[in-house]
Amino acid sequence: MHKYINSSATPQAPIGSSFGAGTTAEQVIGNLDLSGKIAIVTGGYSGIGLETARVLAGAGATVIVPARTPDKAKAAVAGIPRLELEALDLMDPASIDSFARRFLDSGRPLHMLVNSAGIMAAPLARDTRGYESQFATNHLGHFQLTARLLPALKQAGNARVVSVTSRAHRLGGVDLDDPNFIHREYDKWTAYAQSKTANVLFAIALDEKAKGQGIRAFAVHPGLIPSSGIGRFLEAEELGVKPVPEAQDVKHEQPAGSAGADRMKTVEQGAATSVWCAVSEQLAGMGGVYCEDVDLSEAVPAGSVQGSGVWPWAVDREIAEQLWTLSEKLTGVGFAI
């Protein structure tokens, strides 16, 4: 049996942020002034990505939102100040490189990269390389994008990379021998779980490798959000749980690990942890951790019936390093760290 290894410098345990499951992204931002800061939010034209982009821009940041079809995204982001739409297809390596090149050519630093785009429980599909679509979109595309944007993240001097993951990581780890379902039977949930586990492992490895360059990385489970758009492939009965009441006083919210983990969130609540990880001074000097309900989550044993918490195979540093090596091989892209 594999002995999972988590020796992260930042303990995988709640820090008592004073926020909780019902906190909204607006409440996280408060009066924070992000003037002069630059953010890229993938998936920033729908669901929690759109709310993340809206709140960051509302606080003064310039926000670049890449979209596969920018013309279709225009209506969703209309009226948001300081927001720029760009073309990017996470399933197309050439498109990723082109987007990154355009941004780097602008000479701007990148203070926040929120990798929020994703697909969930999709039928079997492959990109032109033969890579399974959920692994290619949710993990490999963002791996390549982050690598290409690394010079701008370094230029910022104090940057955050936020990878949106899911509690579904507990449905399975990464099959390092067959990540693209060439030899094993395809299952949409196994594939989704693999991609979401990969998001956490990427944050752990990136943080360890890049923290010396002033880049810190976080993985975020936003919560269960029926109106986010990511669940378009799901049957209605796969989405039925209870809503979280809106937070009236964020100082008295339920802590991570509470029964709130099984309740549905609004999009505004779902974006809160992404925004917190992107901007909060509470996280200064921290990174390489899985977060939920606007706090660091606790590490729980595999098989835990607790609604919150991260399972061992998603925070194993040895597996994170192996996945990093595999991802470099599959994408042909390395990080100049």
Residues that are catalytic = 192
Question: Which tokens in the block code for residue 44?
Answer: 């920033």
Place of tokens 């050439």: 94
Give the ranges where the chain is alpha helix by DSSP (H): 25-29, 47-58, 70-77, 93-105, 133-134, 141-148, 150-156, 188-210, 267-270, 272-279, 317-331
Output the six-digit token pair for 207.
């943080």
Structural tokens at position 324: 């990093």
How many whole angstroms separate alpha carbon 161 and alpha carbon 146?
8
SS (H, E, C) 61-87: CEEEEEECCHHHHHHHHCCCCCEEEEE
Residue with tokens 């019902």: 22
- Alpha-carbon distance of 247 to 252, in angstroms, equals 9
Residues 322, 332: Cα–Cα separation, whole Å:
15
Distance, in Å, from the CA atom of 111 to the CA atom of 268, rounded to the nearest integer, reads 22
CA dist list (Å): 93 to 84, 102, 195, 210? 21, 14, 17, 23
Phi and psi angles of residue 228, each rounded to the nearest 5 degrees, phi first: -80, -20
Phi–psi pair at 162, nearest 5 degrees: -115, 120
Tokens 């989550």 correspond to 297
Paired with 8 in beta bridges are: none
